[in-house]
Amino acid sequence: MMDQELILLNPGPACTSKRVKDALLRGDLCHREPEFTELLFRIREALPRCLNLGDTHEALLVTGSGTAAMEMAVISSVREGRAVLVVNNGVYGDRMIRIAKANGIPFYEIKSDWTVPADPGAVQAALDEHDDIDAVICIHHETTTGLINPIKEIGEIVHGRALFLIDAISGTAIEDQDLSEVKADVVCGTANKGLHGQPGMSFILCSEASIERIQEVPERSLYLNAASYLKGQRKGDVPFTPAVQVCYALDEAIKEYEEAGGFAARTKLYRERAALVRGQFERLGLKILVDEPFRSNTVTMLHLPDNVTYDALHDELKKRGYVIYAGQGQLSKDFFRICTMGEIPWHRLEELEEALRESIEAARG
């Protein structure tokens, strides 16, 4: 193992700055004290602003990983006897279906190939065919393959007919799409990933229509009922014990993000990183699964080189200071992922090319 810090090239948890890690040590704090209320108000106000939704959306924070935000969004958007339409082209689309099933919510599914972006025309057709759809769900960045879905186009179709929910968990503050141009009612995100906070807190950003809906749906879960978060958080309160230290870290990560230039600067950084590492992949002869126009700014799904297994490549790269990520589901045998998410020194990304070259050689069976 090198004596350099291990760089995580997986799509979260992502590496964080020293400043964000130090914020975890701000001290012990009871969430019923005014200092926590202040912290909560600051974060609630900042999150929509950070994602260009400051004038239109209200944040609800929940302790839990991104799936908690997804589940809260789904179960708080569909009225009794109504259904959800899930646009599914990857593991996270599948997870939305599983959430609907687990909560007894009727669903329709538009399933497509994992390497093909969702088809807005199919959403239009499904809305025309079924008159009981309360919410449409789409994953902005399908982390499964590093594929971007056309949320802007789908939002135009859904607007006024149903609520539009986007899972922006691995895309927020990373992908170029300005969310203020997307007609989304619920945006799911997390503290870690593109915001570079610590994992453990997630959030949903809600439009006015979504806030109204939250108050009309039945209570399907005690912990993930958005109505109780809405009621509490407007007063600076949370219904259950929050991950206080993760909130400290998120507060610091938001300051760091805004000081560095916010959305425009962070997305530019991610574009530059993608260009850098994809140039390396090309020189090394590594083939990318997803076609160019649909690629995200972070995840690249790559074919494993001939006679190289994922485990061998992973272990060789780890010896050289990098953690890569396996493919999921049907892609686990022949592919691997490299994700340039989080706080990564530029020189470590430049040095990745040599590390990859050596590791591929060493891993070749």
Ligand X SMILES: Cc1ncc(COP(=O)(O)O)c(C=O)c1O
Q: Which residues bind to ligand X, rule: CB under 6 A?
A: 11-12, 65-67, 70, 92, 139, 143, 167, 169-170, 190
Query: Which of residues 274 and 363 has its CB atom nearest to ligand X in the complex?
Result: 274
Sign of CA dihedral 49, 54, 60, 66: negative
Smallest distance, ligand X to C-beta of residue 55, A = 26
Please state the closest distance from residue 341 (CB atom) to ligand X, in A: 10
Nearer to ligand X, 11 or 242 (CB): 11
Residue 270 CA, distance from chain mean position: 14
Of 308 and 339, CB closest to ligand X: 339
| CB crowding 64-82: b at 16 or more within 10 Å, else e | bbbbbbbbbbbbbbbeeeb
> What one-character-per-residue DSSP string does 72-100 give?
HHHHTT--TT-EEEEEESSHHHHHHHHHH
- Closest CB to ligand X among residues 194, 305: 194
Q: Shortest Cβ distance from residue 110 to ligand X (Å)? A: 17
**Of 67 and 225, which CB lies nearer to ligand X in the complex structure?**
67
- Shortest reach from residue 10's CB to ligand X, in Å: 9
- In the complex, the smallest distance separating the C-beta of residue 11 from ligand X, rounded to whole angstroms, is 5
For ligand X, which is the closer residue by CB, 68 or 123? 68
- In this structure, how many other beta carbons lie within 10 angstroms of the beta carbon of residue 293? 7
Start-end of H helices in the chain: 18-23, 34-50, 66-75, 91-102, 120-129, 151-158, 208-214, 226-234, 244-259, 262-283, 310-319, 346-350, 352-363
* Nearest-approach distance from CB 92 to ligand X, in angstroms: 4
Q: Which residue of this chain has its Cβ atom nearest to ligand X in the complex?
A: 66
